[in-house]
Amino acid sequence: MIDIKNDKYIYNVILSRNPVNSINKDMLQGLKYAIDSLNYDMSRVLVISSSMKHFCAGADLKDRSDMSLDETVDFLDEINILYNKISDIEIPTVALIDGACLGGGLEMALACDFIISSNNGIFGFPETSIGIIPGAGGTQRMTRKVGPSTSMKWIFTAERYSAKDSFEDGVVDLLTASHEEDTQAFIDKILFNSPMGLRMSKKSIKQSFIDTGYKKEREAYLKTLYSQDRNEGLRSFKEKRPPNWKNK
pLDDT for residue 210 = 62
Q: What is the pLDDT of residues 104-160, one digit of tens each?
A: 999 999 999 999 999 999 999 999 998 999 999 999 999 999 999 999 999 999 999
d(CA 82, CA 13): 14
Strand order in the sheet with 10-15: 2-7, 10-15, 45-50, 93-97, 114-118, 174-176
User: Distances in Å between the alpha carbon of 45 and those of 92, 164, 191?
Assistant: 5, 25, 8
Q: What is the pLDDT of residues 79-105, one digit of tens each?
A: 999 999 999 999 999 999 999 999 999
Query: Which of the listed ranges 7-11, 162-166, 221-225 does the model predict with the highest average pLDDT?
Result: 162-166
Instruction: Give the DSSP letter of residue 114.
Output: E
Domain residue limits, the chain: 2-178
Active-site amino acid positions: 59, 104, 107, 127
Pairing of strands 45-50, 93-97: parallel
d(CA 43, CA 5): 11
- Domain 2-178 of CATH type 3.30.70.141: no
- Rg from Cα positions in the chain: 18
Q: What is the pLDDT of residues 189-222, one digit of tens each?
A: 999 999 999 999 999 998 877 677 788 888 888 8
Q: Is the pLDDT of residue 35 over 80?
A: yes
Contact assessment for residue 51 and residue 14, using Cβ atoms and an 8 Å cutoff = yes
Q: pTM for the complete prediction? A: 0.90
Contact assessment for residue 134 and residue 107, using Cβ atoms and an 8 Å cutoff = yes
Dihedral over Cα of 150, 155, 161, 166: its sign: positive
